[in-house]
Amino acid sequence: MTLSHTASKMPFLNLSAVQYAALKKQADELLSRMTLAEKIGQMSQFTSDRDVTGPSIREGYKNDIREGRVGSVFNAFDADFTRQLQQIAVEESRLGIPLLFGYDVVHGFRTIFPIPLGMASSWHPDVLEEAARIAAKEAAAAGIHWAFAPMVDISRDARWGRVMEGCGEDPLLTSLYAKAQIRGLQGDDIASVETVAACVKHYAGYGAAEAGRDYNTVNLSERVMRSIHLPPFQAAVNAGVAAVMTSFNTVDGVPASCNPLLLDQILRREWQFEGLVVTDYTAIMELIFHGVAADPAEAAQKAVNAGVDMDMQDGYFLDHLEQLVNEHKVTAERIDEAVRRILILKAALGLFEDPYRYCDEAREKATILAPQHLEKARQIARESIVLLKNDGTLPLSGSPGKVAVIGNLVEDKGEWIGPWHGAGRADEVTSFKSALEKRLPLDSIRYSKGTAGENASNADNEQAREEAIQAARQAALVILVVGEREYMSGEAASRTDIRLPEDQRLLAKAVLNTGTPTIMVTLSGRPLVLGDVVDSNEVLPPHVLLHAWWPGTQGAPALVDLLFGDADPSARLPMGFPRHVGQLPLYYAQLPTGRPLDKIDPDPRYSSQYIDSPNTPLFPFGYGLTYTHFEYGTPKLTSTVLSLSSPEDKLILTLTLTNTGQRKGIEVVQLYMRDPVASISRPRRELIDFKRIALDPGEDKEVHFQIKTKQLGYLDQHLQNRVESGCIELFVGPNVEETQQIKFNLID
């Protein structure tokens, strides 16, 4: 049976047809008065010198604004500075067209939330919506109109540093988060001065860079691209996102920034996207290095004809489009189409009515780092920190006695907010030392950095470790904080070795081997390889392992809340943690092999396996512990059959979940499926739904999942959405590996 998956689509920017028609009329009236040079200026975006996110800054950008050669400026913020630039555009250029100010508001503007991968660990889309709403309020108050977020690239290789910007390895989870972030950024009214336009990125396939190396080539079939990597982008379009940013990589040999399949066929024709397409930083220039353009003019021609509306930073549109139009290599209609989209967005934001409406210094002062924003950041950080191991040490009760607090990240502030932290400042971060001292008597704490740093001499690091060992031996409890430094994850931060940095790794082993009960906290922007520290015969395991990612401005107080039981951990992993880097790429939704490990007979050696490691991750997708225990009842279905002839037919899966522990808690009940026999090989597991269930001690609740035909389909080898008759296996449990199975049949 072939399915037509027509997802419900929000009107563009949540505008009514009447509103959109009025904006288009306003844009067309202005368009009729513009010269070709002024139109091309609107299609050009340059960075200011307020902040830098790339390798170059165009000189003389203020004069470009004055001459109408710039439509958008990024890395310009603060109400006073954006007002200065806007005045040049509005009061000194011929037509007075206001600028559009963009910025990478990835996980907060000044109030910094956990990195997106950390917030994804909440398995709670409302968390990402709330964080995005606060980020939008602060950014808008500082003069920003346009946030280059959300980043929805699916990534299954933790070597890629930009996994920290996304929501992990799963298309369903990422799609839900994409919609939530767009709701938070754009709100119900894009004209509100408390909202900003969203820009979903990076379209498309960027997270599949070969070998996890940033900016590297991507090798995806169209079926895999459409099945795995495009659903979050389609979800963003369906949610009314304002803009789409192209990615740096090639897709099947064609760079994304000049790819007609992506930009025209899929985005415009199939998804009916009405917003603007902007490149990433100097992506048009990079078409030359990709080998598909001989010179800047050809690069500009290919990009604009494929569907790019705005050129970020390299200036190739500005330098070459007029000549290309005169030579009939680019049509005037294509230029008008691009400029119309840009002007419609500016009009929707209310910039023609009041170009300075986002430049209010009083509102900026009242909004930035508002107490309620900081409290929300603390709450969201609590929901993002994953408890991976606990022998009962946590939560701490009463006084634990002498505590050795070890690690050079304990007093550090800047390392807790991670990369892409907007305008966030280290001096506005609460350190772990400061947060802990509000809970424990000062005379009960002994601090030791334990390392002189990854670039220090061996002698200095050995001395620092010895001091930490002595502190640990003299304590009743150790809190050990280790992890990546900020520069080790993010853009241009791919790593072949994703273990803890050597100085931190040696410190962890030395402290753990003292035998003192140890709470180990890890910070990072990616899943780490922790086996040699937490799962090794050579090292005593930690009593507790908490992975805090980079938890943001209020991450340290949130961590202390969890340690002392003021809050209960509920986070689950959105990416599995590998045992070894050699397992990468590693993801739960792998296709079954023809030689599965548990099926080969008589000699299991000739099965798909490593000879030096299990196939499984150290911590699987969906994994995370709480301070209580949940018991799953036997799942039951309302029927053993589901009819293909009735698309709205559904089954209900029911199970009873009971909190058998002594504390309240939240369980994330996860539902996976498998189609064991199909026209093409299907994944071993696919997440199709999940529910967050809060229960008091002793409380039980019936959990219900609806299963409909549209959840069970797949894209076949002819790129048709298909669902077939046969047996379907369902798996329900607390993570992808600990599940109960139940089956039903799809019938014609």
Enumerate the active-site residues.
280
Q: How far apart are CA 223 and CA 205, in angstroms?
A: 12
Spatial distance between the Cα atoms of 269 and 273, rounded to a whole number of angstroms: 8
Amino acid occupying residue 428: E
d(CA 111, CA 130): 12
Question: C-alpha angle with apex 736: 731 to 739, nearest 5 degrees?
Answer: 40
Helices (H), 564-714: none
734 neighbors 667 (Cβ within 8 angstroms): yes
Please return the burial class of 216, using the count of CB atoms within 10 Å of its CB with bins 0-12, 13-18 and 19+: middle
Q: Residue 685: left if φ>0, alpha if ψ -120 to 50, beta else—which one?
A: beta
What's the start-to-end Cα distance of the chain, in Å? 8
Q: Give the DSSP letter string of 367-407.
A: HTT-HHHHHHHHHHHHHH-EEEEESS-PSP-S---SEEEE-
Query: Which residues have CB under 8 Å from 628's CB, separation 6+?
Result: 568, 659, 660, 661, 662, 663, 664, 665, 697
The helix-helix angle for 125-141 and 171-186 (nearest 10°) equals 30
Of 102, 115, 120, nearest to 45 by C-alpha is 102
Amino acid at 354: D
Residue 371: CB partners within 8 Å, gap ≥ 6?
none
Eight-state DSSP code of residue 294 = S
> With contact defined as beta carbons under 8 Å apart, do 217 and 185 qualify?
no
Euclidean distance between CA atoms 403 and 477, whole angstroms: 5
User: What six digits make up the tokens of 340?
Assistant: 């119309």
